[in-house]
Amino acid sequence: MEERPAIRPVAAPDAPTPRPAEGDTTRGLVFAVIAYLQWGVLPFYMKAVAHIPATEVLAHRIIVGPNARIKDISSSSIIHSILNTVPVPGATVGARF
């Protein structure tokens, strides 16, 4: 009885494998290095801004219009009023942030 090989050779595909366009490999490498450096620097950045309260981080992203400024409403007061009126999910009744 003739013994058959466990692995049979496969015929090569008719179309050649497409090569990346010129510059794609370099561009991908640059993006990979940038991502690697960002992940390496991120812990130092987080340590540097750890002393800033979370409410101030949120408040700097709110743009207060002229009418609110006239009424002496600041972005910090908006954040504090939201945190004082929105209940904490899953907490007992009356619990606030």
Tell me the pLDDT tens digit for each residue of 34-82: 999 989 988 898 899 899 988 888 888 888 898 988 898 888 888 888 8
SS3 content of the chain, % helix, strand, coil (to 5): 50, 0, 50
Report how far residue 84's alpha carbon sits from residue 92's, in angstroms, rounded to the nearest whole number: 15
Burial class (CB within 10 angstroms; exposed 0-12, middle 13-18, buried 19+) of 79: buried
Please state, in angstroms and rounded to a whole number, the distance separating the CA atoms of residues 37 and 12: 41
Number of domains the chain is built from: 1
Q: Are 44 and 38 in contact (CB under 8 A)?
A: no
> Which residues span the domain enclosing 36?
26-85
More confident site: 41 or 97: 41
In a domain, 34, yes or no: yes
Is 73 within the bounds of a domain? yes
- Is residue 9 in some structural domain? no
